[in-house]
Structure 1
Amino acid sequence: MSQLFGDLPEDDGLPGAARRVAIIVMILGTSMTVLDGSIVNVALPMIARSLQVDPAAAVWIANAYILAGAMTMVTFASLGEVLGFRRVYMSGILAFTLASLGCALSPSLAMLNGMRFLQGVGGAAAMSIGPALYRNIFPTRLLGAALGINALVVASSTAAGPAIGGLMLSVLSWQWLFAVNVPLGIVTLLLARRVLPRDPGRGGRFDAVGAVLSALALGTIVMAVDGLSRHDSWTQELLLGGIALASVILFIIRQRRYSAPLLPLDIFASQRFSMAVATSLCSFVGQGIAFIALPFLFQGAYGFSPLLSAALFTPWPVAIAITAPIAGRLADRYSAALLSTCGLLVLTTGLALLACLGEHASIPDILWRAFVCGLGFGFFQSPNNREMLSNAPRARSGTASGVLAIARTFGQSLGAALVAVVLAATSIAQASASTAQLDASAVHLSLWLAASATLLATIISALRIKHGRN
């Protein structure tokens, strides 16, 4: 890691010494906001039983946070360019911290979901411009290595969430999953105020209409998918689908005609950038499905405790910690597309192996399969992120950062909604089965769906290889 803080005469970004403190702030903020996207996953079965709600309803405790991010990522990325990345980042951390306190004090499922949504909005403000801040902090020659550290933090925090949540739940109530963010948020804000690079932003107008249309489009898509899990009427599903389609069309028209668009569509003129976005979206759909579905397999079908269920996730972040920094450094020298494709192939294999778990799977059998998934994901993410950012103009850093973040959050949100659909469909198709049988059947189907999504990502990524190194 020491190479990240060396100086050369032609370097842009912050001086080496300043980078050391700035990366601490970024790691704190990123790990805190990403962790909350998955830390409650292992508690979902417990919360569902405690509040006497259906598992499909409990999924929204996780999905409300992710959905809020997906709906607002592009908005905050644009605001970062207008108002300055530092200002938006700090505002997001503040909102996230206050909403975390609200989650800890929530007395009902409805209020908890509402606070989780607000928490997701704050997290989106910070996460949407994180990669753009990395590009301002580090010189271009170290961009891949820096993004490797960011990928390590994002992926490890996502994967370690269930393990950390399970450990906390073994000694504390679920409210502490959120209360712990309050002191961490305060420390992050104090450090950020001192060390993050100040940028005034470009100023000018903000596309509020585009922001509403993008949030409406993304939100109605996920709500339409989730509605299938509640057996809503086809009329309602068609209405949501119609609103989503109309919003997408109007959004595109608005972005083409408005002088200061929320999402400048010229960024997608780069085929490599667009394919990297599609690859990232599909891969996070697969990961989102796996992270929501596996706790139901471990606790519902196998009867493991929340703590043991959490421990079974540990190989995933350990493998990411091993591979992500290595992949980031390699992406500065070799084809990012080739590295990403190899990682995705391993990830798909790992998910298929998890889908093949038997009725009485042993703990070692689960652990090594999860490790394979982590190896693949860790080797995929940082090269793919580098591919996205390096194929976007520096003037579009904020936009590229927002697109990267929205691919992750929207993919995870869509994956979580698909798990709710599978859980509901399985309960109808196998009405006479026991709860354990239902959970096992639904999770195995979900995991095959996850493997299919990452296989699609693998195919898209492989198509980039013929274009050679960027």
Structure 2
Amino acid sequence: MTAPAFATARPWPALWSLVIGFFMILVDSTIVSIATPALMRGLNAGISAVVWVTSAYLLAYAVPLLITGRLGDRYGPKRVYLVGLTVFTFASAACGLSDTIEMLIAARAVQGLGASMMTPQTMAVITRIFPPDKRGPAMGLWGAVAGVASLVGPVLGGVLIDTLGWEWIFFINLPVGVIGFIAVVRNVPSLERHHHRFDWLGVALNVVGMFLIVFAIQEGQTYDWGTIVGPVSVWSLIIVGAVVLAFFAVFQSRAAEPLVPPGLFRDRNFSVANGAILVMGFLITSMMFPMTLFAQTARGLTPTQAALLSLPLAVITGGLAPVIGKLIDRGDPKWFAVAGFSLMVASLVVYAWFMRPGISILWLLIPSGMLGAANACIWGPLSVSATRNLPMHRAGAGAGVYNTTRQIGAVLGSAAVAAFMEARLSAQLGAGGGSGMAMMGTRIPAPLEQGFSTAMSQSMLLPAGVAVLGVFACLLLVPPQGPSAARVDAGRPRGIEPQPPTDPIQQEG
């Protein structure tokens, strides 16, 4: 009998190699937001066109995740990751060389596609090369990267734009991509492939349904949640997308090889962790907008200075997450996640309390540090809970579902906080008051500072309220049953008996 993958692979060099590219693609999810004014000047583009630089990336990233996770199961996660990294790196070069906004938007969409091929593979490889009772530190590192990268983006973007120009927020990916490619080739093992058949009708239904819903939610505020063109409205796209996904769900229940194996959701912890990571995705995007706009528009900080207010968050998350990862292998991840979401609620309420005129900006470092501790207690424990019982032949599918859920949460958070901020600005300053200056990061006039600060403070209560849902969701997690909790037959189609173990380290060629 041959040894399992986690007995023959060198897991830590493999993981460190994978997180290089994972960090890069998550940074690119947020780095462009700080470059909006520079892109408008450099490419002679309007605000609505520049918004699509981010929207195109997120759409192309979020929509294919279920499919790209499954590709890793079929063709091997190492191979799919390397293809995705190559696509992402070449697309980054195209972004930096763009001389029109249309070219940049198209290159960003290709970048997003490359990112969608990479993301599920990182989590799938962790599931397959770390034993269940040793997965905590690995998921802690994965979670630390996910938490820190989303906050490093604005800081790095501000520094690069201020010193080298907006093109370098994309050119910096080229050496990182090359280093990441070489590291993965050298250190990541070629894992066993599972010869799944592709459900092409399911693929089509998933892509169409996801695109309609993600596009509508993402662009709803742009069209004031009304008509897009002719009889097509934002809400009609959401309804049609929901109907298409309903057909997808029905079809999946009858498909021989479904994209989303029903057995995944029969595991309680996988289902609950997906609900909690949806909340976390919502929080990461929704809490950043009010904080950043308060710092720049109400307090007059530069983009780089505003981004540096998140430094305690990034440092504490990066330092504490590996420690939490070691602890969750010895205890129940549930209570770390519950504590993390509880601390998240408290830190967002403290932010709301401090966001008022005249207060020293240094006070904002306190809730930033609290958020760092909260992040460290959430990412790793949730990931461990989601993957502990995943069978090896479902690792890619499970990772695809988990990351799709996180991205949907991020899109929902972005759309919800934009609408909520607009409503609070209208209530405090009158219709349209201050919203144009907020979009551009322009310092608000002194007579409007109180109302604007109050609107941003109230907007922080939206993610705080949603974080409460994360607390209740994590209370539903059940404790692990030890190493034996990894039920390798979970999700196996009925009537198929367990197969003898095979060597999981095989050439993916």
TM-score for the superposition, normalised by structure 2: 0.84
Q: Which residue of 2 aligns with 1:459?
A: 472
Q: Where do 5+ consecutive residues of structure 2 fail to align?
A: 438-443, 482-509
Q: Quote the residue 2:123 is aligned against.
A: 131
Instruction: Indicate the larger mover: 289-298 or 303-312.
Output: 289-298
Instruction: Name which of structure 1's ranges 160-169 and 199-208 shifts more when overlaid on structure 2.
Output: 199-208
The one-letter code sitting in structure 2 at the alignment partner of 1:219 is: F
> Using the alignment, how far apart are the partners of 1:67 and 1:442 within structure 2?
29
Give the alignment of 1:29-428 within 5 angstroms. 29-44=21-36, 46-47=38-39, 58-225=50-217, 226-233=219-226, 236-356=233-353, 357-425=355-423
Q: Structure 1's 114 and 444: CA in aligned 2 closer, same or farther, altered over 3 A?
A: farther
Q: Secondary structure at the match of 1:261?
A: coil
Greater shift, 317-326 or 421-430, is seen at 421-430
How far off is 1:159 after superposition?
Answer: 2.0
Aligned AA (2:243)? A
Q: Equivalents in 1 of 2:222, 2:334: separation in Å?
A: 36
Identity of aligned residues (%): 27
Shift of 1:375: 0.9
Q: Look up the equivalent residue of 2:13 and give its one-letter code.
A: V
Offset, 1:268: 0.3
The range that moved more, 431-440 or 78-87, is 431-440
Bigger fraction of residues in helix: 1
Contact 1:45 1:299 (C-alpha < 8 Å) held by counterparts:
no
- Residues of 2 paired with 1:301 and 1:29: CA distance? 36
Task: Find the aligned partners of 2:282 and 2:147 in 1 and give their Cα distance.
Answer: 14
Residues 64, 116 of structure 1: 8 Å contact kept: yes
Amino acid at match of 1:164: L
Cα contact 1:167–1:310 (8 A) shared by 2? no
Would the alpha carbon gap of residues 201 and 468 (structure 1) be closer, same or farther in structure 2, given more than 3 Å must change? closer
SS at match of 2:163: coil
Work out the CA distance in 1 between the residues paired with 2:423 and 2:43. Answer: 22
| In 2: Cα distance, 1:177 partner to 1:112 partner | 12
CA RMSD of aligned residues (A): 2.5
**Structure 1 residue 469, shift from structure 2 partner:** 4.1
Contact 1:82 1:206 in 2 (8 A): no
Q: What's the offset of the Cα at 1:19?
A: 3.2
User: Structure 1 residue 404: deviation in Å?
Assistant: 2.0
Code of the residue aligned with 2:374 in structure 1: it is G
Residues 278-313 of structure 1, C-alpha deviations (whole Å, 9 max, x = no match): 011012101111234432222222211112112111
Q: Is the 8 A contact 1:100 1:178 kept in 2?
A: yes
Instruction: Check the 8 A contact 1:159/1:317 in 2, yes or no.
Output: yes
Offset of 1:170 from its aligned partner? 2.4
In the TM superposition, residue 270 of structure 1 has moved relative to its aligned partner by 1.4
Residue number in structure 1 paired with 2:500: none
Q: Secondary structure at the match of 1:129?
A: helix
Aligned residues of 2:49 and 2:101 also touching (Cα < 8 A):
no
SS at match of 1:300: helix
Preserved contact between residue 67 and residue 410 of structure 1 (Cα < 8 Å): no
Partner residue in 2 for 1:13:
6
Mean Cα deviation higher: 19-28 or 95-104: 19-28
Aligned-partner SS, 1:39 = helix
Rounded to whole Å, the distance in 2 between the matches of 1:49 and 1:409 is 30
After superposition, the Cα gap between the structure-2 partners of 1:312 and 1:433, relative to the gap in structure 1 and judged at 3 Å, is same
In 1, distance between residues paired with 2:287 and 2:318? 19
| Aligned-partner SS, 2:358 | coil
Question: How big is the shift at 1:336?
Answer: 0.9
Deviations 1:405-445 (A, max 9, x none): 11222222222222333455456652363433586455434
Q: Hey, what's the Cα distance between the residues in 1 that align with 2:11 and 2:283? A: 34
Counterpart-to-counterpart distance in 1, 2:479 and 2:138: 23
Q: CA deviation at 1:59?
A: 4.3
Bigger-Rg structure (1/2): 2
Q: Which amino acid in 2 is paired with 1:213?
A: L
CA contact (8 A) 1:166 1:309 kept: no
| 1:447 corresponds to which of 442, 445, 460 | 460
TM-score calculated relative to the size of structure 1 = 0.90
Task: Confirm or deny: 8 A CA contact 1:327 1:380 kept in the other structure.
Answer: no
Q: Which amino acid aligns with 1:419?
A: V
In 2, Cα distance between the equivalents of 1:170 and 1:77?
A: 37
Unpaired runs of 5+ in structure 1? 1-8
Whole-Å separation in 1 of the counterparts to 2:473 and 2:46: 36
Partner secondary structure for residue 259 of structure 1: coil
Question: Which one-letter code corresponds to 1:387 in the other structure?
Answer: S
